A = this chain, B = another copy of it.
């Protein structure tokens, strides 16, 4: 089993190699380049529903092929960096519009646009040393969610209660798993667990970070008095899971300082997620993973200006 960071050189388009790139594209949603992680993630998608699985594979393939056709960087291609935004965008589309030939065409075009935006984000953000993360997905899926509403905008978002929210043990368990599952729009607890296993096969640190991010998000959301049913669905925590993986296990070297720094970021991502959901409510939009993207960008941008072990020096990746 190759290490998460190890990357094979492009070896033409042998089927095995193509399959590996495809799986890596799905694994990169959780910032991993391991095909084994991608395999677990694919299983989790199909555990959610066959539609999500098929569209996830379709989107990852479409944006990877588009990037290859447009002549994007072959090294990023081999790492799966051209697949994850297309994968997520395609899933976001099928979840909202349902499976059909029209949806499939839309998903493919959207995934192709993702690959162009990925190149743009890489160039614009590369100058300031920040990764693109899932920004292309958020932009494309966000525009489509508002452009193609499926129902009139819902009523006003719920007002937090004055006190803290309390959850039963079952709700806590569901919230823990769904915080991970919602990264892929999955809301069944076992899908979240399979995703966590997938992270684990590539990196123990990333799996611990994901689990801690989920716990921190639940505690923060409860302390804020956010509604219990939405906490249980994982709607406030998926950004914290990704923030924790990005800061504690991917872009910074893990030290006690970094762990605290990532915890602070995970805490901050929860009100940010709640705010973005409420802000998007009138137009029927969704924050998708924007709160993860923006929180991670800001905490990574701040890191070199701070002088503590692990924070000030970014990981040579």
When chains A and B are docked, how far (Å) is the Cα of A305 from the Cα of B268? 34
Asked whether B264 lies within 8 Å of A112 as measured between CB atoms, the reply is yes
The complex is assembled from copies of this chain, and their number is: 3
When chains A and B are docked, how far (Å) is the Cα of A224 from the Cα of B143? 13
Chain B residue nearest to A122 in the complex (CB): B305
Chain-B contact segment, one of A4-12, A24-32, A50-58, A269-277 = A269-277
When chains A and B are docked, how far (Å) is the Cα of A79 from the Cα of B214? 38
Asked whether B128 lies within 8 Å of A308 as measured between CB atoms, the reply is no
Asked whether A301 lies within 8 Å of B124 as measured between CB atoms, the reply is yes
Asked whether A3 is an interface residue with its Cβ less than 8 Å from the other chain, the reply is no
Contact with B along A156-188 (1 / 0, CB 8 A): 110110000000000000000000000000000
User: Known: A124-B128, A149-B159, A264-B116. Is A71-B302 also a contact (CB below 8 A)?
Assistant: no
Asked whether A71 lies within 8 Å of B224 as measured between CB atoms, the reply is no
How many whole Å from A114's CB to the nearest CB in chain B? Answer: 10
Chain-B contact segment, one of A195-203, A227-235, A280-288 = A280-288
User: Known: A128-B124, A285-B279. Is A147-B312 also a contact (CB below 8 A)?
Assistant: no
Asked whether B160 lies within 8 Å of A148 as measured between CB atoms, the reply is yes
Asked whether A65 is an interface residue with its Cβ less than 8 Å from the other chain, the reply is no
Residues of B within 8 A of A117 (CB): 298, 302
Which residues of A are in contact with B by a Cβ distance under 8 Å?
A: 70-73, 102, 109, 112-113, 116-120, 122-124, 127-128, 142-153, 156-157, 159-160, 223-224, 261, 264-265, 267-268, 271-272, 274-276, 278-279, 281-285, 297-299, 301-302, 304-308, 311-312
| 13 further contact pairs, Cβ within 8 A, besides A72-B307, A116-B265, A148-B271 | A71-B307, A102-B223, A116-B298, A120-B297, A120-B298, A120-B305, A122-B305, A123-B302, A123-B305, A124-B301, A147-B274, A275-B285, A281-B283
